[in-house]
Structure 1
């Protein structure tokens, strides 16, 4: 009896995802609503940051946070998300973002 109960529980668990209603959602527009602000280092930021996210992500950050904030953000992208950014480019990106945002 115990084996039959486990078999029924297993069968129900396997069938449950098939019975779930499909989920649909609208994807965001392919058109970016933000672009990087012109400035020294913009090209390095576009080349490195733009490979993973849009300029919108940068625009959403709190304004006027300064060099330490942006240095920490750039290094978080490297350490946490595996961004392939050299230390030389990281310094340029941080300086650019601190000056522009």
Structure 2
């Protein structure tokens, strides 16, 4: 059986693939490129509380829902993911989301 690559050839192939991979960059959007929340009562509380964990893109890409559905989402963020949101702010966020992103 004939040897196709010796140690030097193998090293050259590896170095070439590493160099090619090093040239790849993933462009990130600038901070201002994220989705803008719709204006309305509760937008500031929503922005302050929610973007400490995720971008506004995550909010606006959610399926539209009524207050009950948004309450479930906000409750999950608090109880499952540990979002530090008090009861009053949670109520404000649910009202805002149901009004601006309701169905």
| Structure 2 length-normalised TM | 0.69
Instruction: Compute the displacement of 1:50 (Å).
Output: 1.2
Residue in structure 1 matched with residue 51 of structure 2 by the alignment: 50
Residue in structure 2 matched with residue 37 of structure 1 by the alignment: 38
Residue in structure 2 matched with residue 89 of structure 1 by the alignment: 89
- The whole-number CA distance in structure 2 between the counterparts of 1:84 and 1:30 is 27
- The whole-number CA distance in structure 2 between the counterparts of 1:89 and 1:27 is 35
Residue in structure 2 matched with residue 13 of structure 1 by the alignment: none
4+ residue runs over 2 A deviation: 21-25, 30-33
CA RMSD of aligned residues (A): 1.9
Confirm or deny: 8 A CA contact 2:67 2:94 kept in the other structure: yes
- The whole-number CA distance in structure 2 between the counterparts of 1:28 and 1:69 is 32
Alignment of 1:3-14 (within 5 A): none
- The whole-number CA distance in structure 1 between the counterparts of 2:29 and 2:54 is 14
Residue in structure 2 matched with residue 28 of structure 1 by the alignment: 28
- The whole-number CA distance in structure 2 between the counterparts of 1:90 and 1:45 is 9
Instruction: Compute the displacement of 1:25 (Å).
Output: 6.2
Larger radius of gyration: 2
- The whole-number CA distance in structure 2 between the counterparts of 1:41 and 1:83 is 17
Gaps of 5+ in 2: 1-17
Gaps of 5+ in 1: 1-20
